[in-house]
Amino acid sequence: MITPNKQNPMKEITISKITLNVGAGKNEELLKKGLKLLKKLSDEINPIETITNKRIPTWNLRPGLKIGCKVTIRRNTEQLLKKLLVAKERVLAVKNFDNNGNLSFGIPEYIDVEGLEYDPELKIIGFEVAVTLERPGFSIKNRRIRPAKIGKSHKITKDEAINFVTNKFGVQVQ
């Protein structure tokens, strides 16, 4: 029997991964700077370059063109998120949260991140942060044999994600 003081452990929300992204467009120099910045932020995990798949003539894009870089971090995510939230002064907007309980925000200058100092080679560059939240049991949708959908009552809602970030990291949501 579950006592009223204890919550169901399967309802506990955790951070699955943090994805950092730098969009460079067609600028090769900015892409190289972005790769170096993401390597610094991710504790030496090698970032990958993102490549276009579609042709968009108005933007002069063609398939196979390198337009950015990203890195996915799955370890020590709480410490990294704390540093990144300090750069946002622990204030997020409601629109930073999606209906699936994930959150994303941008950091205009990397020097705002705790522990990073100005690098004259990088100059001033910004990046985007996407945080994926999950509960125990979410792996059933990704498993190889008999994948299943996550039940409606087990999905993370926008309000639950806001409560998680507010209580765990002391973030103000406006």
DSSP output for 108-166: S-GGGSTT----TTT-S--EEEEEEEE-TTGGGGT-SSS--PPPTTTSPPHHHHHHHHH
Contact 55, 136 (CB under 8 A): no
- The pLDDT of residue 23: 86
**DSSP bridge pairs for 17:** 132
- The pLDDT of residue 2: 53
**Domains of the chain from N-terminus onward:** 9-173 (3.30.1440.10)
- The pLDDT of residue 73: 92
- The pLDDT of residue 21: 92
Per-10-residue mean pLDDT, the chain, length 174 = 69 92 84 87 86 85 86 90 89 91 89 80 86 90 92 90 90 86
